[in-house]
Structures are given as C-alpha cells and as structure tokens.
Amino acid sequence: MTLLETIDGPRDLDRLSPAELDQLAREIREYLVASVSQTGGHLGPNLGVVELTLAIHRVFESPKDAIVFDTGHQSYVHKMLTGRRDLSSIRTTGGLAGYPQRSESEHDIVESSHASSSLSWADGISRAFEMTGQQDRHVVAVVGDGALTGGMTWEALNNITDDNNRRLVVVVNDNGRSYAPTIGGMARFLNSVRTRRGYRALHQSSRKAFDRLGGPARAVYRGVRGGLHGFLSRFSNNEALYSNLDIKYIGPVDGHDEGAVERALVQARDYGTPAIVHVITEKGRGYEPALRDVADQFHAVGQIDPETGESLVAASAPSWTSVFSEELVRVADADDRVVGITAAMLRPTGLHRMAERYPDRVLDVGIAEQHAVTSAAGLAFGGLHPVVAVYATFMNRAFDQVLMDVALHRAGVTFVLDRAGVTGPDGPSHHGVWDLAILQVVPGIRLAAPRDAERLAEELHEAVQVQDAPTVLRFPKGSVGTEYPAERRTPDGVDVLRETDRRDVLIVTVGPMAGIGLEVAERLADQGIGATVVDPRWVVPVPRSVVELARDYRIVVSIEDGMRVGGIGTRIRQDLREADVDTAVTEIGLPDEFLDHGSRGDILERVGLTPQHIARDVTAMVLGSKLPHARAVPADEEASTR
C-alpha cells in the first residue's frame, strides 16, 4: 500500500514524518501525471502546489478553518487530501468537478473559478467569524501572483487591513505565471524577490541549521528565524509593497520545502491578525515535459502520453481560436489602427499570432477585464480600433465598462468572445452562456455569431470597420467543423441556408447552431412540414429581412446555445411585435440554471438542444396547434422576396 492510499482525510497527515511527507508529495505528483494524462485537466498548476497544500492541511483544520482557492483550478491536491483520491472521473458527466464544488465535500467553499475574488470571500468569511464570536476559526485564502493583477484583490486587501481583529492568512502562491507568465509592474517586483541570491542562500542555510536542532532549541530558533524573516523582508524590499497596508508579511518561502511552508503558516496563524505568506513555487514541478513547455507549462491539457507529454488527441479540423488567430493577423496587416488586448490569456485567445508579428500592437493587461475594456475605450478615442479577446464567461465581469465606457461613448471596440455557449468539462462558471442575454441590452451594440470558419473571417473584417459602436464576435470552443454555404443572401446580410415552397416554420439559427437547424428542417420535412433555415450572421440588431420573412410563416423557431431567457429568440419576438407581425415565436435555448460539468454533447442532450428533441417538439406544435395553415408561395412572389 502506498502512503497516498492511507490518506482518507486531512488529519491523516498529522502522523507523517518529514521523510514520509516528501514521499507522499512524490506519490501525489506521480498520480497526478498518470491520472490527468488520461482525463485532461489542469496539470501544471496542481504539480506546483503539492507541498503547499500538504502544509495548509497540516497547519489548519479544514473544514472548521475555511480554505478558499482563487480560481480553484489548483485544487486537485486538496481534493485528494479530503477524501477524493480517485481523480479518474474528474471533469466528466457525473464525476468530480475540476474546481471546488460544495456538493462534493464540506471542505470546498468557493465554486466560482473566476480569478482575483478569493480575498473578498476571505474578507467576508473572516468578518462573519469575528462578528459571530467564532474566534477559534481561521480563513486561508490561496491566491496566485497572477491574481494580484486583478483589481478585486487590491480592493479586498484595502478592507482586510482595515482592522486587525480577524484570523485571516493570505497565501500568495508566486510562480511567476497566471496562465502564461505574469505581466506588469507587480510581476517585475515579485520576480526581483524570487531571483535575489542573498535571500536564497540565507534561506537554505537557515533551513539546514533548523534541521540539525533538537526540540527545545528549535523553539528558540523559530524566534530568531522570525527576526531573520523580518530582516530579509526589509532587505529584499518586500515590506515596501505591504507596509502601508498594515499587514504582517512572511516570506518569501520555498514552496517546495514542506517544512518551511508549514513553519511560515504556523507563524502566520499564531499572529491572530491578517497576515500574508509569500510562497515561491514552480508550475509543473517534477514533470519534465511541463517544465519544457515555456508557453504555459501544461496549465491545462487534454489526453497526453504521460511519458512524453505529447497529445494523444489526433489533429482534426482547425479550432475556432486558430481561425480567428490567423485572420486577425490579416486584419492587422490591412489596417494599422487595429490593436489587440488580452487579459492574461494571450495564447488561449489566439492573440499570440498577432503579438509575434506586431509585438507593439498587442497588450496583455493581466487578469483585469474591467481595465481592459475601459482602456480599449481610451485607445479608440486615440484613433485606434482595439480588438479585445476574452473567454465569453469572463466578459460578464466587465459589463459596466462595456455599457458606460464603450457604448455610451460610441467607441469603436470589437470584442471577440472565445468559448461562447456550452463549453463542457470546466463546469458552471466556465460556460459562456450569458453573453447574448447580457450584452444585447447595451444600446447600439452589434452582435455577430459565425456559423463556420468562412463566416468568422468575414464577420471579423466587418466588425473592425464599425467605428461608432461596440461590436461583438462570439464563437464556441473546439473545432470549426462543417462549412454551411448559403443558398442566397438577403440585401441586409442574412444567409438563407435552406428554403422550401411550403412555409410552415422559419428556423433562425445563431452561429454554429446552424447545423442543428438544418437537421431539424430535414426531420420536419419527413413529417410533411416545410421549414426554411436562416442564419442572420449579425443577430443583434435583428435584421429587417428576418422580420419580413416571418410574416409568411406559421411559426418562427429560434435556436441558440445561450440563455433562453432574454436571448436572441426573445429579441426576435419583441421586434415582430413592434412590426405588427403576429407570427408565433418559440425560443429554443438553454434553461436559466447553472449547467454542471460534462461533455458538450451530454449537456445539450440533457437540456433538449439536439435535432431529435427540437424536431419532435416543433412537430407537436405545428401539427397539434391552431396556427394558420402554410401556403405555397407563387414563383413571382417568391422572386420578389429575394
């Protein structure tokens, strides 16, 4: 039996010797590589926090003490130490979540995987403990150095340091990276601390001295070493960062020296006031393929060969991200006003290609979507056209800036939303399902949803030509797949993908739902129901030709993988009403609920967004309703509608 197999909960760690803890750390890393290589997931971040997580669970008493992970993608080790050793089902339907999840364990506190929020959570929890007399409970917030680029972190620190009556420990897990290398002045400062030779040498010698001492002498040495930490902090200028915040600082500490981390956490815990522990770790620790990967150190992987780190997923069609990435370079070639902005996700959003070609025209602002959007408004004012590329789920964080800084000022800014719609295994906080409902309420905004690679390129070029309003281009995760040519295009840009003489159902598809819409139409035809399928391309504002086409049909069916409540179907219904078109509208989209993790196919099946479900429901509506009867359109009238 391995040591790992004997760990059923955090208190099982208490009996382990330093040598056994080192062995357990090795076993955890070996298991992480073997398991995540089969399922995919966040490998690099978890390899980097093994000793840190062991130390946290030895010093603190979860769940009595609340442990809050910023983003939570580094919580695999935490799961393994809290009764969830088997990661074989992680991120699959019905299996473990890839982030903390309260329904899994009482040890999981915060489920949201959006960065820079952990300190606000910790502030609130610790205040609640203090106000309700729970003085024996601690709060530990584990925040990466990348999250220090987010404004919420500093707003929280401002409030955390407002009083000293709370038992709150902030662990800064400093590995020099968020997804990619951390950027900005904060990153440069922390990097100077990590690379200061004087500190490293003195820290190593002090550790060796500590290991040679007996029990009573160790207690004395801890006090001396605390003084050394204070001296070193001042020597390395770390306290300059936090001194005006009136918060205790310990570090930097070698994050892969479990004993050193443990001692620092004990010191911070025993202060009884808010304290920061600065821990230096290495992303991808112990796994050579990850350490060789300069781009992201195996931040997130699919199925890989555990020995080589090579992907086991055969290359297929180009991804949506790669198509955008290559087309943006062409756009930038043709228009030197175009600049790119990313929020700490240069490579995941595809902006790295433009950065390679035009390094001075791509800006990484860190994990700061709000700042990115308002900065883009300023760039537009200065005569440029910013392209802000973010994951769709993270666009939620900057809604006010889109509304008040971009739209109100009629700024020409293009937002490119990757991972829109149902994304799959990353779970509720990563599905990009709110963008259509949220953004369409912004006055003057224009939303495009390409159905295939050709339309993505086409609509990107169209978007950057708009100089007096925000434009949005949204596309899903994964491969682009099938191209869907149009039978014809209306004067206002709507693509008619399938048209029949018998006008029963007008199917309006949003983006890649075109394939489902076409299959629904075929299934309806088998039931003697005539269906026309259109792709508006630009879904907001609703093109006039969609409204006019709707006049001749018994029912309009909209299909989108955004929220049904407040979605594009709702917008179409409102526009038809304003135009005195009494055609019935049924909106088919996602329910207003948080969707669990699982494959995209499994999720769409569960919510009824499949051709079979939709065709069955529409057939029942058409054949079982009192809708007006369909009519065949005479040739001369049909020609006039073109």
- Which active-site residues does the annotation give? 283, 369, 397
| b/e sequence 531-550, b meaning 16+ C-beta within 10 Å | bbbbbbbbbbebbebbbebb
Does the annotation place 46 within a ligand binding site?
no
Are residues 358 and 328 in contact, defined by beta-carbon separation less than 8 angstroms? no
Does the annotation place 597 within a ligand binding site?
no
d(CA 66, CA 56): 11
Does the annotation place 430 within a ligand binding site?
no
Does the annotation place 35 within a ligand binding site?
no
E strand spans, 371-411: 385-391
Does the annotation place 115 within a ligand binding site?
yes
Judge if the upstream peptide bond of residue 491 is cis by omega within 30 degrees of 0. no
Does the annotation place 287 within a ligand binding site?
yes
> At which residue do the structure tokens 């007399």 appear?
133
Q: For residue 140, give Cα distances in angstroms to 80, 155, 168.
A: 18, 18, 6
What is the four-CA torsion angle of 127, 130, 132, 134, rounded to 10 degrees? Answer: 130
Q: For residue 526, give Cα distances in angstroms to 107, 485, 514, 558.
A: 53, 22, 19, 20
Does the annotation place 113 within a ligand binding site?
yes
Closest CA to 321 of 491, 497, 466, 479: 479
Are residues 332 and 356 in contact, defined by beta-carbon separation less than 8 angstroms? no
> At which residue do the structure tokens 């073997």 appear?
34
Does the annotation place 444 within a ligand binding site?
no
Q: Which residues contact 131 (CB under 8 A, 6 or more apart)?
A: none
Does the annotation place 310 within a ligand binding site?
no
Q: Give the DSSP H/E element, type plus range, for residue 50.
A: helix 50-59
How many CB atoms neighbour CB 239 within 10 A?
Answer: 16
Does the annotation place 73 within a ligand binding site?
yes
Closest CA to 79 of 95, 124, 93: 95
The annotated binding site is made up of 73, 113-115, 145-147, 175, 287, 369
The annotated binding site for thiamine diphosphate is made up of 73, 113-115, 146-147, 175, 287, 369
The annotated binding site for Mg(2+) is made up of 145, 175
